[in-house]
Amino acid sequence: MEYINIGNVRIKKTAALAPIADVGDTAFRITSKMFGAAYTVGEMTSCKGLVYGDRKTTELPHISESERSFDSPSGIQLFGSEPDSIARATEMSLEYKPDIIDINAGCPVNKVVSTGAGSALMKEPRLFFAIVRSAVKAASKVPVTVKIRSGWNSEQINAVEIAKLAEEAGASAITVHGRTRVQMYSGKADQDIIAQVKQTVKIPVIANGDVDSAESCMEMYRKTGCDLVMLARASFGKPWIFREIENGMQGIPFEPPTLPQKLDIMREHIRLATKLKGERIAMRESRKLAAWYIKGIRNAAMFRNACMGLETLNDLERLIGFIKEQQMS
């Protein structure tokens, strides 16, 4: 097994879980770590929300003791557009004892970009530099990383320039999603721009975009020369993707879980969520989660409709029983 170092943090050179807003909660991260995620990052957290003490915001950076029990670091991600706010939020986030603090300069959604944060920072290099610098100064000995995109649009591909500024500002690593802000999540991720960033900076480069198998992960490593691969959507309803990748990189055969095994994993994932959030909230949030787990099976459309009605753990058990009955008939 190979490892990389981000600052003083040691990480397996396999695949990490990207921060995923409204999805990558504690239960999701723990489940990913159970299947070998090399590193996980919590949901994107608003610096202003943290500074002003918004209750929901202050819950997002929490790292549970269960997460810390794995041989896999845990990071938190902050977003904002004001250096002072970033600095204060970084100081406050140290109370959560993260292994790494990540600054988001890649989120493409309007509600983030419209505030001047996320991928909007790629259009403001000076502000970007000031934000990263302020976070690094405030983070004490905790490594600060940055997540960016290839650029704003096809005419403004500036990931190399932005990566150099991040390094100059003191960032310990940079993650590059090989799409522009305009692309959102459509089209194909540009591996060439990730390779260019890797060739330019001395800090570790984490590659993100289109990795959904052991083969595509190893191809990302080969084509970009990156230090680590990060994935998000490929883990939706498929947390064993991390074990598949780890096995593939070591030349160990991987046997995908059977349908009954998938349903058992889904059950445990959702049960963990209910322990952490309570049954009412967790079950409603788990409707999409259940739909992801059953994607691709026979009669999946019918089962997805049933997922949308989940209210209790008993409902979940009935759904699992219904799926098994229908698949065996």
Catalytic sites, residue numbers: 107
3-state secondary structure 59-97: HCCCCCHHHHCCCCCEEEEEECCCHHHHHHHHHHHHHHC
Q: Give the tokens for residue 172.
A: 């310990």
Alpha-carbon dihedral sign for residues 34, 36, 39, 40: negative
Closest CA to 271 of 263, 282, 260: 282
Cα–Cα distance for residue pair 129/146, rounded to 1 Å: 11
CA-derived radius of gyration, the chain: 20
Please compute, for residue 308, the number of CA atoms within 13 A of its CA located in the half-sphere on the CB side: 6
Cα–Cα distance for residue pair 249/195, rounded to 1 Å: 20
Closest CA to 167 of 202, 207, 120: 202
Q: Tokens 């060739």 identify what position?
A: 199
Closest CA to 42 of 23, 55, 15: 23
Cα–Cα distance for residue pair 289/310, rounded to 1 Å: 11
Q: Tokens 């999946």 identify what position?
A: 300
